[in-house]
Structure 1
Amino acid sequence: MFSRIAKRSFSSTAAANYKVTVLGAAGGIGQPLSLLLKLNHRVTDLSLYDIRGAPGVAADISHIPTNSTVNGYTPEDAEGLKKALTGTDVVLIPAGVPRKPGMTRDDLFNINAGIVRDLATAVADHAPNAAVCVISNPVNSTVPIVKEVFKQKGVYNKNKLFGVTTLDVLRASRFLSQVAGTDPTTEKVNVVGGHSGYTIVPLLSGTKHKSTLTNEQRDALTHRIQFGGDEVVQAKNGAGSATLSMAQAGARFAGSVLKGLDGEKDVIEPSFVDSPLFAEEGIEFFASEVTLGPNGIEKIHGLGELSNFEEELIKTAKVDLKKSIVKGQAFITKA
């Protein structure tokens, strides 16, 4: 701890040392996510955990010449999960299974909810002060699961729990640029609501193209952003889902969290968080832009001025969101 403080004190330009842990590091998202985190100069201690394969992933990416150590753990290691989590600053949870042929959404939920519950319990026990970034689907339900576990353990900090919705933001920028014929790196789209289907609400009226998009283009873009994951599943012939793009999204969001922890100013990302925006309607979580800082969430931003079209999208999103949030909460409280 002293070394981190010392580096912050003596150099305003040098980044502090941070430990980052990936739970589910050997999976389709976990492997490329771990690779991208190895390339982040703020990550000096990278811990990888999975039920199998994590030591191999760790050995592989440890050969990349960046200033970080990498260790891999499995349940076969004595206190492997505890070692992976102890002293960590940021935890990313991509662990879970993709939906397979013949599997219902309830089947998928029950499996992934159990995985997230068990991992959240370990984080509460061994890294209660870490920023926790949940990637495991369905995010609209798994993030509330983590909250309930942390509440039961008496360590819940609403400013350090995030649902990673960054992939929706990346898709929005890319898809908008294809319609507008622009450089996607210059397109900024705020995406709010949740992280599945109709709960995903891209605020296209807030972009520089609001006056040039036709209603038909707006409608098509909105639908494509909401259901962009289907394109990947279909292209992979049902044998997989978005893993590489999700890894990039997770790495970007984790990088922003680290920038905030490191004291960088004006770090803003959309995220699915414990939010006051619609709490009076019984919707405890909602994705919107948040300012990140040394203590996690420094500010939750409002939605700004919405078009009539977006107002209707928000209404629809809230109905599905409320159900998903309650489903996650009930998984823990009724267990």
Structure 2
Amino acid sequence: MFAASKIQRRAFTASARNLSKVTVLGAAGGIGQPLSLLLKLNPRVTELALYDIRGSPGVGADISHVNTKSSVKGYDASPEGLAAALKGSEVVLIPAGVPRKPGMTRDDLFNTNASIVRDLAKAAAKHSPEASLLIIANPVNSTVPIVAEVFKNAGVYNPKKLFGVTTLDVVRASRFVSEIKDTDPKDENITVVGGHSGVTIVPLFSQSSHPDLSSDAELVKRVQFGGDEVVKAKDGAGSATLSMAMAGARMADSVLRAAQGEKGVIEPTFVESPLYKDQGVDFFSSQVELGPNGVETIHPIGPVDAAEEKLIEACLGDLKKNIEKGVAFVAANPGN
């Protein structure tokens, strides 16, 4: 009897290591709903917790009918609901915030979204301090530093577990190149570094199979301002929600794969990075190898051509200001 129960305990412990609770904060929004649906389809997600200031119980009920094994619950908009959604979570995605409108830059979003992200980060620091945090809320260049400062203030900051989701920039670059070259986008390996807005987005075409594209200023601009293309096409009714949801789901899957022991999982992501710290840029997006504890290895940028060197130079100036803005916000607005 004792031997049998011991075997059962071992089996339970082994399976428990592969149990993955994933939480979406902002689950009823334009990004949150398709993101939650994609996560429900991911077999690595065993429990999906959805939270928003309104509508998440309905979204949870709807998605729970999808015939995959994971359980889903939408939590009510209360401190208790937020705490329950976060408790025990392995991965927390934050797409919460207001969307961009025509003529609005990501920077214009700052004041509203900064407060939202700060408050959600406070809850995460309290209820799921060891979770991997995937920040989608714009402007990512500033919201990631905001989360870092909140976690530092709470004494639970782990730079290996904080990620700004920049995957969409790579997704766009590979798709745009495939349209030009008539290839399959999955075969286009385009490295994109820097940040996640405008000129801070730097595609490194010289490192791809099509180095000639490095001199294509129109393509570079399309990658940098692809979000504007969507905002304009939606005629003020929304921004890049569906493609962003796909990118967020891809990043979450990569984090889970690495957490469950898969080797060689590499994603572009905006993290605390040593690459340009000597220039006062504490966060930078580059190819990052993921592991069971989050960030495993931050890869160097590698060789770039003269055109890309200029793009990186322009990127760093803006990026430093964006990061400083996030840090300053928390210092001036610590919240309750």
Normalising by the residue count of structure 2, what TM-score does the alignment of the two structures yield?
0.93
- 2:94 and 2:271 map into 1 onto residues whose CA distance is 15
1:7 partnered with 2:15: yes
- 1:33 and 1:164 map into 2 onto residues whose CA distance is 13
- 1:318 and 1:54 map into 2 onto residues whose CA distance is 38
Give the aligned partner of residue 258 of structure 2.
260
Corresponding pairs, count: 325
| Letter aligned with residue 328 of structure 1 | G
| Letter aligned with residue 299 of structure 2 | H
**Judging changes above 3 Å, is the alpha-carbon distance between structure 1 residues 322 and 273 closer, same or farther for their aligned structure 2 residues?**
same
Identity %: 64
Moved more, 225-234 or 123-132: 225-234
Shift of 1:209: 1.3
1:179 partnered with 2:180: yes
Give the aligned partner of residue 13 of structure 1.
none
Shift of 1:296: 0.3
Q: Runs of 5+ in structure 1 lacking a partner? A: 10-15
Q: Runs of 5+ in structure 2 lacking a partner? A: 1-8
Normalising by the residue count of structure 1, what TM-score does the alignment of the two structures yield?
0.93
RMSD: 1.8
Please give the residue correspondences for 1:1-335 in structure 2 after superposition, counting only pairs within 5 Å: 5-7=13-15, 16-76=18-78, 79-100=80-101, 108-210=109-211, 212-213=212-213, 215=215, 218-335=216-333
- 2:82 and 2:12 map into 1 onto residues whose CA distance is 23
For residue 269 of structure 2, give the secondary structure of its aligned residue in structure 1: strand
**Judging changes above 3 Å, is the alpha-carbon distance between structure 1 residues 214 and 284 closer, same or farther for their aligned structure 2 residues?**
closer
For residue 179 of structure 1, give the secondary structure of its aligned residue in structure 2: helix
Q: Is the 8 A contact 1:4 1:17 kept in 2?
A: no
- 1:195 and 1:66 map into 2 onto residues whose CA distance is 33
C-alpha distance after superposition, 1:102-140 (max 9, x if no partner):
878665211100000000000000000000000000000
Q: Is the 8 A contact 1:26 1:57 kept in 2?
A: yes
**Judging changes above 3 Å, is the alpha-carbon distance between structure 1 residues 219 and 238 closer, same or farther for their aligned structure 2 residues?**
same
**Judging changes above 3 Å, is the alpha-carbon distance between structure 1 residues 125 and 2 closer, same or farther for their aligned structure 2 residues?**
farther
- 2:10 and 2:53 map into 1 onto residues whose CA distance is 33
| Letter aligned with residue 294 of structure 1 | P
**Judging changes above 3 Å, is the alpha-carbon distance between structure 1 residues 3 and 249 closer, same or farther for their aligned structure 2 residues?**
farther
